[in-house]
Structure 1
Amino acid sequence: MMNWEERRQIVKVANLYYFDGQTQAQIASKMGVSRPVISKLLNKAREMGIVEIYIKDENAHTVELEQQLEKTYQLQEALVVPAANLSTEMVKHALGKAAASYVSKNIKDIKSLGISWGSTLSKFVQEYPYEQHRDLQIVPLVGGMGRKFVDIHSNLLAYQLAQKMNSYCAYLYAPAMVESKELKDRLIQSEDIAMVLKEGRGVEMAVVGLGNPFEGSTMTDMQYLTPKDLDSLKLAGAAGDIGSRFFDIDGKQIKHPLNDLVIGLDLEEFKKIPQVVGIVEGAHKVESIRAALKGGYLDVLVIDDVTADLLLHPKKITN
């Protein structure tokens, strides 16, 4: 049992440190002991419950989730935005803003940036600030011609982002997915397409979205995926897609005819990019995100707090 004098000393040190704002060195000098002794007493104050530290800010919850995600999935960085009482559209804008802030702060020495496609990425481009990056090239990482949802295609997003950054971009004049392997082989041998794909493989940073092919899939809405395709993807064990390439629950690219019809980077090529920033929204994508992280495709994850919580605590997911 600790005697009264020892306990009194701990309380006194805690008061001087937390309420008076004195440094450990100042307290040590005042009490005639070494600074490590003061540090040890402050630790004891926390261990014994004499001092309890609370961070009273709405960001405390999201910062804790970020740290847990970084530790659990060996991420370079995680950015978690609060989603309480926000519509899906508002959450996507918040994610886009967070991702734009991250890229803006980390792009100074980068000469090439790759971008995929999708509704969340379009919010990233919308939220990106106007800057000067004259030596930077923006490269689309997957094809995207078509009549539907043109506003979220990689070529348009690359162009719009280049406008925001006062930089320049390449264009990948090809569909994201073609009808046959023969057509794909002919197209990727075209000098223009081959050159852009080569530039895509060499980007220093990439910004990508991530999909669940079976729920809320833009590829299904665009009619790139038919009900028959979805059935065969399910049989093949597809869990998610990045850049229109499908991977399984372990994050491995699946052997499926659709993966052979995509004009864009394959998943192994994504892994070779020095930094891949993934922007993802929605609880329906939890297993897809977990599989992508297992596969090692993402270095930075920008995510909402509800999805982050489910990613860290799988038992919370109810059937």
Structure 2
Amino acid sequence: MLSWEERRLMVKIAQLYYYEGWTQAKIAKKQNVSRPIISKLLNNAKKEGIVEIYIKDETLHSVELENAIMKKFDLKEVIVVSTAGFAPEMIKRQLGKSAASYIANHLTDVKSLGLSWGTTLLSFVEEYPYKYKKDTHIVPIIGGMGSEYVHLHSNQLVFHLSQKMNSSCSYLYAPAMVESIDLKERLVESKDISHVLEQARNVDMAVVGLGNPFKSSTMEKIGYLNQKDLASLRKAGAVGDISSRFYDAIGKELNHPLNDRVIGLDLNEIKQIPEVIGIVEGSYKLESLEAALQGKYFDVLIIDDRTAQELVESYI
């Protein structure tokens, strides 16, 4: 039980520190004691309930979601992007900005950066600042040839990002998905394509999106998937795709003919990259995301707050 004098001293010190903004050293000098004693008294004031600290800021809830997701899925970093009041197209843009900011600030030791493809990656590249990083080589981790929706293709994305960084890049001159396994095998054996795929396997960091093959699928939109393919994927238990590789509800890559026709890194190869950054937007991808997190394909997750909230409510 604290005496009246002890309690009064704690209140006085807490008032100077928290309200007046005095340093612990200044308070110690005034009280004629050492600074560690002031530190101990402030800690005791918290333990006794004399001082209670609240964080009053709209970003607090986002930080709480980040911590919950990070602990549950053992991630290096989670960034939850506040999207309240934003139109759908602006939500993707906000995620792109957050991803661009994170990556631009974490390229110090990154000599090679891998990019997948899709609308989320496009937002990231569009929002990336003109910030020179000449010693970072950019590599597509999946094929990207085609005459339609070229702006979404990996080759186009690596080209635009390399321009913004004033750096070099490689091109993977092959489609993301070809008509047959035989054609895929012949293409990946060619010198130019095998060389870029080997570069992709050895990048220091990769940025990928995530898809739900059965809802708002970019792969279906651009013609890589038809109704027969979708029926086959549903029967096989597919719940999502990363870099056009389909996986099941526990995050295991499917043994499926469509996966065998993709020219690019498979999910196990992506997992071996030292840092994989996943950008995910839309609660319709919730099941796809949870399976990807179980599969441990991401080290860093950048996600909108609504999807993050639903993830926490559903799985944590």
When normalised by structure 2's length, the TM-score is 0.92
1:202 aligns with 2:192: no
Partner of 1:285: 285
Partner of 2:91: 91
Distance in 2 (CA, whole Å) between partners of 1:135 and 1:41 is 51
Partner of 1:182: 182
1:161 positional shift: 0.8
Secondary structure of 2:92's partner?
helix
Secondary structure of 2:239's partner?
strand
Distance in 1 (CA, whole Å) between partners of 2:315 and 2:269 is 33
> How many corresponding residue pairs?
316
**Alignment identity in percent?**
59
User: Residue type of the partner of 2:151?
Assistant: D
When normalised by structure 1's length, the TM-score is 0.91
Partner of 2:132: 132
Q: For 1:45-194, what aligned pairs fall within 5 Å after superposition? A: 45-194=45-194
Partner of 1:216: 216
1:313 aligns with 2:316: no
1:275 aligns with 2:275: yes
- Structure 1, gaps ≥5 residues long: none
1:266 aligns with 2:271: no
RMSD: 2.1
1:30 positional shift: 4.3
- Structure 2, gaps ≥5 residues long: none
Secondary structure of 2:255's partner?
coil
Greater shift in the superposed pair: 190-199 or 40-49: 40-49
Distance in 2 (CA, whole Å) between partners of 1:18 and 1:135 is 46
Distance in 2 (CA, whole Å) between partners of 1:302 and 1:193 is 30
Q: For 1:28-39, what aligned pairs fall within 5 Å after superposition? A: 28=28, 30-31=30-31, 35=35, 37-39=37-39
Secondary structure of 1:270's partner?
helix
Greater shift in the superposed pair: 84-93 or 23-32: 23-32
1:9 positional shift: 3.3
User: Residue type of the partner of 2:100?
Assistant: A
Deviation readout 1:207-250 (Å, 9 max, x if unpaired)? 11111112221111112122222222222221211110011222
Secondary structure of 2:105's partner?
helix
Greater shift in the superposed pair: 4-13 or 213-222: 4-13
Distance in 1 (CA, whole Å) between partners of 2:47 and 2:238 is 47
1:180 positional shift: 1.2
Deviation readout 1:59-82 (Å, 9 max, x if unpaired)? 322233223332222222122211
Secondary structure of 2:126's partner?
helix
Partner of 1:256: 256
